[in-house]
A and B are shown apart, each in its own frame.
Chain A
Amino acid sequence: MTEALLIVAHGSHLNPRSSAPAQDHADAIRAAGAFDEVREAYWKEEPSLRNALRTVTADEVYVVPLFVSEGYFTEEVIPRELRLDFDAADWDSDGTSADAVTCRPSDVDKTVHYCGPVGTHDAMTDVIVRRAETVTGDPEVGEGVGLAVVGHGTKRNENSAKAVEYHADRVRSRGRFDEVRALFMDEAPEIDDVTDHFGSADIVVVPLFVADGYHTQEDIPADMGIAGDDGTYAVPARLDGHAVWYAGAIGTEPLMADVILERAADAGAAVHPPDRTPTATADGD
């Protein structure tokens, strides 16, 4: 019995960087030899979700959405387009606790283990911390530093904010950073007033987005007020007497590949070799 990993992501008709994280993580996982087959599929790019499962040879497919929160895409679009006999109630999720459901797609004779999104997995907390380390260049970053975890936030989907708050709470509970806040683009508390939320001189800002694009490279820097006339920003940027270390989309962090594998392993995948992951072992809790 062979097993395949299918990473599903949004993709874009306009932004070539949108699919880069899914491709990069797929390559890292393939290079680590963790799965017999590693494939990607996209809502807006190719292979489309509709055509993806037929490109897989294995009988068992672990489908991991490279999305930050549960909601419209993970509950409706992805299972519908993959033709899974899936009901969101099967996940029995409180908004951040979806794990995995075993399904039968209607167009291929395979077993699909449909996993919750990477964004709500506990291991994402480690990725946020890692991102703070990489953007500051300080593997011990935390003391005297405030951390803002930033989400899109939308009134249409309360789970969008839940995932951000979930990880902010988890980072805060570790006591590593002086202050931890969940901030949003489209709902309160807003990223526009980022320095109002922190007393620390240094503020690390980590956007919980999969890919770098319009939101992470234009909207958020402009909203915070760190973007120059040409739209670029310095790292760190000086703002209201603070140093703002803006990290860019967390989805590009190499450690994300480990979260994808954790999702699949939680769903029963025989990730091999079991003690080897694409990156160094996550600093866990």
Chain B
Amino acid sequence: MAATDAPTPGEALREAAHDGVDFDGLRAARTDDGFRFAVPEASHEGLSPEEFTEVTRDHRPYVDNWLFWHGHAPQADAEWAFLRWVERAADLSVPARYERLRDGLTREWGQVAVTARLTEDGRRRYEVRHVDETDAARDDLSAYADPYEARRLRKVDDDGDYRPLSTAPTLPHGWAFVDLDATGVVRAVDGLYPATIANWHREREGALDVTHWHETVSRQTGIYGVVETWDRGEGHDHVNWVAEACCDDSQCLKRREWDYDAETPLDVDGGNGEFPCREPCSLVVATARTWTRLESERARTYEFELTPSEKAQVEAIIDAVADGRIAEIRDGDTRDGANRFRTRYLRAKLFDDDGNLCGVPTDGDDA
């Protein structure tokens, strides 16, 4: 490496010692009788500048670690905290962390795996992959160096279908963001899962600004203004059903922190995601608009004749669609009620020429 005028890590630490350093077990200070240097394994007092620099060479991981976090990592609070979380800085001592960083330390962020590795100069390089592919050979993955490409990559799933919800558990496979620096890895993760780092950090700081359902729908105008009318003062079952339909971990990897309102928690589980969801998203609001219209209808009584197996089959079909299982059901597996041939038979038998179940019109005489 070419010589530069940049100070060595030891020199940089000695300079900072004038103001006092206390970071990850490393302490350095300028005292009346010289420099002080201390790590958990050793302590030195009254050092000359030359002796101080000499001592730093014996404890390079501590010094490199201090320099990385103050000289190279992004100094924005949320990004800094995220990168510290990636390498488990709160749990691992510097020697233990450096030992593991040499092989690569990986953490999972939704379906994203972030791996930090130590470089020869004590900094980090990062790699971002799908969690299913942390052990895949790099040659088997498409490598990306530009972290901003993550915004485009997340747009479609493995089948090429559009993903309007970035945190749906359908992140595509087959890619790796490689050789990223500390700023780049934050941009890649933010590209895959926008704003998750910022809101995760707010939550850790006890400052997550949750906007609950009622406040969110009350704010809507235009074509979404109607959703507010779905809150009729008749409880919050409808919001339970929305959350169960849209916000379950099987549909979105954010952990729902919003409820009906601040006093009225929902009855369904918010999920176990690493990062929080702080308010109903635009997909929930748009879908709620559809339900507002549908749920304004009054229930009526229909009479259908079904065999017990046919009733169970209708339930199996609803389950299969709701769980996104249709593509997995094999053509030959006629035991599955949602099998295509079973379903076509049911339609052939029970629908009239107008598509009415058992010939019962949807809008009957009492419509």
Contacts and interface: CB of A to CB of B under 8 A. Distances in A.
Contact of A30 (B148, B166, B221): B148
Contact of A54 (B148, B195, B222, B282): B195
A43 interface: yes
Interface in B158-181: 162, 164-166
Interface string A136-166: 0000000000000000000000000000000
A51 B282 CA distance: 12
B202 to A, nearest CB: 7
Contacts, number: 61
B282 A48 contact: yes
B166 A46 contact: yes
A192 interface: no
B155 interface: yes
A48 B155 CA distance: 15
A54 B164 contact: no
Nearest to B74: A57
B190 A50 contact: no
Contact of B199 (A19, A23, A43, A54): A54
A51 B198 contact: yes
Nearest to B219: A80
A16 interface: yes
Contact of A77 (B74, B155, B164, B222): B222
Given A45-B164, A46-B166, A46-B194, A51 B199 contact: yes
Nearest to A57: B76
Contacts of A57: 74, 76, 79
Contacts of B148: 27, 30
A107 interface: yes
Contact of A14 (B164, B194, B198, B221): B164
Nearest to B75: A57
Interface in B179-213: 190, 194-195, 197-199, 202, 209, 211
Given A16-B162, A55-B194, A80-B219, A50 B202 contact: no
Interface string A178-219: 000000000000000000000000000000000000000000
A50 B258 CA distance: 14
Contacts of A47: 194-195
Given A14-B164, A46-B166, A76-B221, A23 B195 contact: no
Interface string A53-90: 01101000000000000001000110010000000000
B313 to A, nearest CB: 31
A54 B202 contact: yes
Contacts of B198: 51, 54-55
A170 interface: no
Contacts of A107: 209
A131 B166 CA distance: 33
Contacts of B162: 14-16
Interface string A7-30: 000001111100100010001001
A52 interface: yes
B47 interface: no
A44 interface: yes
Contacts of A14: 162, 164
Given A13-B286, A54-B199, A54-B202, A23 B152 contact: yes
Interface of A: 12-16, 19, 23, 27, 30, 40, 43-48, 50-52, 54-55, 57, 72, 76-77, 80, 107
Interface of B: 74, 76, 78-79, 148, 151-152, 155-156, 162, 164-166, 190, 194-195, 197-199, 202, 209, 211, 219, 221-222, 278-279, 281-283, 286
